[in-house]
Structure 1
Amino acid sequence: MKILVVGAGATGGCFGAMLARAGQDVTFLVRPARAAALRERGLRVVGREEEWRIDPVLVTADELAAAPVAYDLVLLSVKAAGLARAAEDLGPAVGPDTVIVPQLNGLAHLEALNERFGADRVLGAVTKMVTTLDQDTGDILRLAPLAQLLLGEQDGTVTPRVEAVRAVLAGAGIDARVPENAVTAMWHKWVFITTIGALTSLMRGTVGEINAVPGGTELATALLDEACAVAAAAGHPVPDAERQENLDVVTATGSPLVPSLYRDLASGAPTEVEHLFGDLVARARRLGVPTPLMDLATLNLRVHQARVEKTS
């Protein structure tokens, strides 16, 4: 299977490196600056008492446009702000049988990719991986063993191409699964990440710090309830057992957990506020679901985003 990984950051870089290390035909579509760094240093994955390196096959957007190649599988791993440009860049790589697996959170990207490439080429997917990019070296820091990818057709049908992709991923040591409904799985992850993102960004602390003070646990619970209500109104209710698992995480005492969105906020970096929160509260309004706490978190993040954009 000929695989194109769009982006060689913390998530796409690690998945792509795992596939390449397993012998798959993997090419990374990257920006010229990232390509230069990777050609000089290689793609390195470090952490968990391990370190490994590959010499990645790289292509830039200009090179791909000059010599189009149709790939069997595209792993699209970019931030929401880079989605439009990434979709334009990978156009020459998409043929009639190309399967695109987006590795973004939320739902808005699915609609954008469906419009650009057709829903028949785009799978629903949920990525779970704990990695970050070392800003000094460009190395991928793997913070936990989790490397999971849930994927499936958007309409919930089981097809041979999904199983073929799953088998390739599994062969590289990736925990690849086909859920009953991939779009529902995307909704459920969206519920969790907006809950923990809203909690930590509003309170400017770790999960443990927030739950250590009066009112912290009540706030976490109320945020989760709002997000679950939106998912249920959209036709993707979170099962009681999964809701309890999420609640246990966001109300854990002593937990040092913070999401990547909070780390971006604390460092003064842009966040995916519109993709994750703006879209959620807009859907809530259309569905008639009140979300006052999520609205407050969205406003908070929008103020931060406006400040970042003003100074950049």
Structure 2
Amino acid sequence: MRILTVGAGAVGGFFGARLAATGQDVSFLVRPARAEALRARGLRVEGQGETLRLAPRLVTADAPGGPYDLVLLSVKATALDAALADIGPAVGPGTAVVPLLNGIAHLDALVTRLGGAAVLGGVAKVVTTLNSEGDILRMAPPAVVLTGETDARPSARVDAIRAVLTGAGIDSPETGDIVAAMWHKWVFISTLVSLTCLMRGTVGEVNAVPGGAELGAALLAEAAAVSEAAGHPVPEAERAFTEATVTTPGSPLTPSLYRDLVAGAPTEGDHILTDLTVRARAWGVATPLLDLAALHLRVHEGRLAADR
């Protein structure tokens, strides 16, 4: 299977490295600066007992190659439009595109640009980051990619993709409704993002003060209500996992969006929070805490825009 990983950052770089390390035909579509760094240093993954050192096959937007059998799209939402322009020549009649972004709005953008036949749903569950040298640090055990047809029908191509992922040590269990899974991940990440960004601290720091644990639970209740209004109620086990995650005393956990915020960088706030709250209003679901978190991030983005 010929695979193109769009981006070689903390998510795409990790999954692409796993696939390449087990002999899959993997290319990484990267920007020139990232390409230069990877050619000089290689692609490195560290942490949780894992060490990978690879000389990755790199392509750039002017010559992406293809068509590929599988495209793993693992860019931030802020880079989605540019990525869609870049991968057009890499997508052929038999290509499957699996987006590993949070939220849901990108599905419409993908279908509009690439056609509905190419686009699968996707969910990534991995806790990784890039260090100052551009190496990927794995900070917690999960290494999961869920995928499926967006209309939930059985699919031989999905089965083949899952087999390749599993062969690379990436958990990819069968998913009956990938769009529901995307909504449930959205509930998780919007709760975590709102908690840490509003309070400007780690999960543990928030829970160390009176009211911290209650705030996490309240944010989760709002996000879960939006998912239910969309027709995708969060299963009790997943809801309990999310609540435990955002109320764990001493947890150092922060999402990548929080790290972008404190670094003064652009964030995915509109894609993750604003879109969720707009949908909530359309369905008559009250989300005052999520609205506040979305506003907080819009002020940040406005400040960045004014400084440009």
TM-score range, shorter chain: over 0.9
Corresponding residue for residue 101 of structure 1: 98
Q: Does 1:204 align with 2:197?
A: no
Identify unmatched segments of 5+ residues in structure 1: none
Indicate yes or no: 2:237 matched with 1:241: yes
> Of residues 246, 271, 278 in structure 1, which corresponds to 2:267?
271
Aligned to 1:29: 29
Counterpart in 1 of 2:114?
Answer: 117
Structure 2: tracts of 5 or more residues without a match: none
For residues 49-96 of structure 1, what are the alpha-carbon distances to aligned partners after superposition, in whole Å with 9 as ceiling and x for unaligned? 4432111111111123xxx52100000010101100100100000000
Q: Which residue of 2 aligns with 1:91?
A: 88
Report the residue type matching 1:18 in the other structure. R
SS at match of 1:61: coil
Question: 2 CA distance for matches of 1:253 and 1:161?
Answer: 42
- Aligned AA for 1:151? T
Match of 2:187 in 1: 191
Tell me the alpha carbon deviations over residues 169-212 of structure 1, each in whole angstroms, 9 at most, x when there is no partner: 11111111221110000000100110111111111122222222
Q: 1:76 to 1:220 in 2, by over 3 A?
A: same
Q: Aligned partners of 2:279, 2:150: CA distance in 1, in Å?
A: 19
Could you tell me how far 1:157 is from its partner in structure 2? 1.0
The number of aligned residues is 308
- Alignment equivalent of 1:128, drawn from 125, 129, 132: 125
Per-residue deviation, residues 263-305 of structure 1 (Å, max 9, x unmatched): 1112212110100011001111111111111100000011111
Q: Give yes or no for contact 2:146–2:172 (8 Å, CA) kept in 1.
A: yes
SS at 1:74 equivalent: strand
Whole-angstrom distance in 2 between the partners of 1:168 and 1:87: 24
User: How far 1:253 moved relative to its partner?
Assistant: 2.1
User: What is aligned with 2:15?
Assistant: 15
Aligned residues with identical type, % of pairs: 63
The one-letter amino acid paired with 1:81 is T
Q: TM-score, normalization: structure 1?
A: 0.95
Give me the whole-angstrom Cα distance separating, in 2, the residues matched to 1:224 and 1:45.
32
Q: Which amino acid aligns with 1:84?
A: D
- Work out whether 1:255 is the aligned partner of 2:251: yes
Distance 2:212 2:10 in 1: 31
The alpha-carbon deviation at position 15 of structure 1 amounts to: 0.7
Partner of 1:51: 51
The residue aligned with 1:165 is 161
Aligned 8 A contact 2:269 2:297 in 1: yes
Structure 2 CA distance for aligned equivalents of residues 112 and 290 of structure 1 = 27
Residue aligned with 1:142, SS? strand
Normalising by structure 2, what TM-score?
A: 0.97
* Stretch deviating more after TM superposition (40-49 or 51-60): 40-49
Residue type of the partner of 1:76? Answer: L
Amino acid at match of 1:99: A
Q: Which secondary structure state, in structure 2, belongs to the residue aligned with residue 296 of structure 1?
A: helix
* Structure 2 counterpart of 1:174, from 165, 170, 185: 170
Q: Which amino acid aligns with 2:112?
A: E
- Counterpart contact for 2:17–2:52, Cα < 8 Å: no
Distance 1:187 1:177 in 2: 17
**1:154 and 2:159 are equivalent in the alignment:** no
CA distance in 2, matches of 1:183, 1:23: 30
User: How do 1:214-229 and structure 2 match up within 5 A?
Assistant: 214-229=210-225
Q: Within 2, Cα distance between the matches of 1:255 and 1:31? A: 34
Task: Return the match for 2:75 from 78, 83, 91.
Answer: 78
Q: Deviations over 1:98-140 (max 9, x none)?
A: 00000100001111101111222111111011111123x1111
CA separation in 2, counterparts of 1:193 and 1:255?
16
Question: Residues 243, 145 of structure 1: CA spacing in aligned structure 2 closer, same or farther, 3 A cutoff?
Answer: closer
Structure 2 counterpart of 1:94, one-letter code: V
